Structure 1
Amino acid sequence: MGKVILEVDNLKTKYITRFGEDIYAVDGISLKLEEGKSLGIAGESGCGKSTLALSLMGYYFAPLHYQSGTINIEGKNISSMKPDDVRRKILGNEIAYIPQAAMNALNPTQKIIRFIEDVIRAHDPKAKKSDIYDLARKRFEILGLPESVLQKHAVELSGGMKQRTVIAISTILSPKVLIADEPSSALDVTSQKMVIKMLKDLMNKGFIKSMIFITHELPLLYNVTDDIMVMYAGQSVEFGRAKEMVFDPLHPYSKGLMGSIIVPEEGTKNNKLIAIPGTPPNLKNPPIGCRFAERCKYSRPECMIHSISENKMKNGRMYRCYMNESELREVYSNE
């Protein structure tokens, strides 16, 4: 096992509505991310992926609230830090976040270099303009972005160029962990390829040490990440190597999720697409038993009434199901 950069243990966060209701969006998530590795997080909309991304940064603001658990970046527990300390010492330096629709977050009235100045001066108020420009110019050049972009406004850039520029700005301080939330969504295939190449370059050139990649495009995860974690209703239901998660999923939800998409690989031509019936449970009052039970065609009465713990396998794989591996493979083979 390599050096662990990010370690999360039993993290629980919730939203509190204006009516005082609790929504348990992240419920008991644990994970380890090694240096030089990338983790993909998959799941349908509303399963808690983006909330987990926000929670991992240790920076909480209403309506999102921290409940319990720990977040360690190279042994530093950021979950117990004050929000101001997290903002000044952690965000950007230790962990960086690229949110969904990030390319629409750029102020159209400011030049790109001004955004970079703001990021760097938030951590070093005495930084000189000339030094900041030199750093930005060199970084953009290494990442394949022309120096001229620094003097442009966001409205002068294409969608793909804006997204790549946002990524460059977000990682200008060389964070240990980069969280990319749907970084290639709403882009054409060519722009997607360039964004993915840029993210890989950031790791290969040592500007980031590890990455968490969130997307609905599961075949993309297979080609980009080392491991995949599938989330459902705020919980991790399966974790494993990317190849086995796509071609040999164990959890019924993972299997349904993988069966509902087309994987452009040899041997999948005749596979039929299967939709998962129903909708995720209401997280204001989550089920006692398996959260997927009401939608699972393999569910048993005991799935509804017993809490489901994680089943950990020798190879590091994990799945959360009442059935053991042999039972799951048997029901799958009988289909």
Structure 2
Amino acid sequence: MGKTILEVKNLKTKYVTRFREDVYAVDGVSLTIEEGKSLGIAGESGCGKSTLALSLMGYYFPPLHYMSGDIIVDGKNISQMEPDAIRKSILGTEIAYIPQAAMNALNPTQKIIRFIEDVIHVHNPKMPKKEIYDLASARFEELGLPASVLDKHAVELSGGMKQRTVIAISTILSPKVLIADEPSSALDVTSQKMVIKMLKSLMEKGYIKSMIFITHELPLLYNVTDDIMVMYAGQIVERGTAKDMVFDPVHPYSKGLMGSIIVPESGTREHKLTAIPGTPPNLKKPPVGCRFADRCKYATAECKVNAVGIREFGDGRSYRCLIDVEKLKEVYENEQ
């Protein structure tokens, strides 16, 4: 096993609405990522993926609130650090974040180099602008972006170029962990491919040590990440290698998620598309039992009243279900 770069233990965060209602968007999430590895997080809209991404930075502002748990980055626990300390010593150098719709995050009135100066001066206020420009120019060209982009405004760049520019800016200080939240959404296929290639290049060149890639597209994760976690209603319901999660999912939700999308891979083309009935539970009042029980055709009365923990079943795989893994696999085989 390699060095652990990020370790998260039983992280719980919530939103507090203007009506003083609590929404438990991340509930007991644990994960680890080793140096040189990438982890994909998948799930339908509203399952808590983006909230988890924000929570992992340890940078909380209303309506998002930290409840409990640990976030340990390269041996340093950042879960209860002050926001100003997080901004000055963690963001950008330890953890970098690429938000959804990142291409719209650039101020249209500023040149790209000004964003980079702002990022670097938070951590190194005395670094000369000439040195910053030289660093940015070399990094951009190494990542396949022309240095001329530094002197342009955001409005002069295409959507794909904006996205790649935001990624380059976010990783200019070579963070240990990069959290990419839907980095290829709203892009055409060609631009998506270039973004993915850039992220892989950052890993290969050592500019980032590890990566969390968040998306609702499981097949995309198969081609980008080493491992995949499936999230549902604020909890992780299954984890395994990318290959196992795409070709041999165990949890009924993971199985349904894979069955509802087209995967152009050998061995899955002949499968019929199926939909997952029902809707996710209200996270203001999460169910006491399995959160997927009301939508699961295998659920029993016990599933709806008993708390469900994570079960390990070898080779680093785990799932959250009361039904034994062998019984689940047997049921799946009989249905084929």
* Coarse TM-score class (shorter-chain normalised): over 0.9
Deviation at 1:216, TM superposition (A): 1.4
CA distance in 2, matches of 1:324, 1:201: 40
Equivalent residue number for residue 287 of structure 1: 287
Matched, 1:260 2:260: yes
Matched, 1:128 2:128: yes
Note the 1:222-241 alignment, pairs <5 A: 222-241=222-241
Tell me, what secondary structure is at the counterpart of 2:186?
coil
CA distance in 1, matches of 2:131, 2:15: 41
Deviation at 1:111, TM superposition (A): 0.4
CA distance in 1, matches of 2:329, 2:163: 42
Matched, 1:297 2:297: yes
Deviation at 1:215, TM superposition (A): 0.9
Report if aligned partners of 2:288, 2:304 keep a CA contact under 8 Å in 1.
yes
Equivalent residue number for residue 171 of structure 2: 171
Note the 1:67-86 alignment, pairs <5 A: 67-86=67-86
Deviation at 1:139, TM superposition (A): 0.3
Report if aligned partners of 2:203, 2:209 keep a CA contact under 8 Å in 1.
yes
User: C-alpha deviations, 1:69-98, integer Å up to 9, x for none?
Assistant: 000001100002111100110000100000
| Amino acid across the alignment from 1:143 | L
Deviation at 1:125, TM superposition (A): 1.3
Deviation at 1:189, TM superposition (A): 0.8
Report if aligned partners of 2:233, 2:291 keep a CA contact under 8 Å in 1.
yes
CA distance in 1, matches of 2:45, 2:295: 16
User: C-alpha deviations, 1:6-62, integer Å up to 9, x for none?
Assistant: 000000000011111110000000000000000000000000000000000000000
Report if aligned partners of 2:247, 2:268 keep a CA contact under 8 Å in 1.
no
Deviation at 1:267, TM superposition (A): 2.4
Equivalent residue number for residue 49 of structure 2: 49
Deviation at 1:334, TM superposition (A): 2.0
Equivalent residue number for residue 193 of structure 1: 193
| Amino acid across the alignment from 2:293 | A
Structure 1: 4+ residue segments shifted above 6 A: none
| Amino acid across the alignment from 1:138 | A
Equivalent residue number for residue 243 of structure 1: 243
CA distance in 2, matches of 1:211, 1:66: 22
Superposed CA RMSD: 0.6
CA distance in 1, matches of 2:295, 2:288: 15
CA distance in 1, matches of 2:154, 2:59: 27
Deviation at 1:270, TM superposition (A): 1.9
CA distance in 2, matches of 1:122, 1:137: 19
| Amino acid across the alignment from 2:218 | L
CA distance in 2, matches of 1:267, 1:58: 41
Equivalent residue number for residue 7 of structure 1: 7
Equivalent residue number for residue 118 of structure 1: 118
Equivalent residue number for residue 203 of structure 2: 203
Return 5+ residue gaps in structure 2 as ranges: none
Equivalent residue number for residue 312 of structure 2: 312
Deviation at 1:302, TM superposition (A): 0.2
CA distance in 1, matches of 2:94, 2:269: 43
Return 5+ residue gaps in structure 1 as ranges: none
Deviation at 1:311, TM superposition (A): 0.5
User: C-alpha deviations, 1:113-152, integer Å up to 9, x for none?
Assistant: 0000011111111111101001000100100110110000
CA distance in 2, matches of 1:240, 1:125: 43
| Amino acid across the alignment from 1:264 | P
| Amino acid across the alignment from 1:95 | I
| Amino acid across the alignment from 2:132 | I
| Amino acid across the alignment from 1:316 | G
CA distance in 1, matches of 2:269, 2:328: 24
CA distance in 1, matches of 2:145, 2:15: 39
Report if aligned partners of 2:277, 2:295 keep a CA contact under 8 Å in 1.
yes
TM-score with structure 2 length normalisation? 0.99
Report if aligned partners of 2:37, 2:210 keep a CA contact under 8 Å in 1.
yes
CA distance in 2, matches of 1:321, 1:268: 24
| Amino acid across the alignment from 1:165 | T
Tell me, what secondary structure is at the counterpart of 1:2?
coil
User: C-alpha deviations, 1:250-280, integer Å up to 9, x for none?
Assistant: 0000000000011111122221100101110
Tell me, what secondary structure is at the counterpart of 1:224?
coil
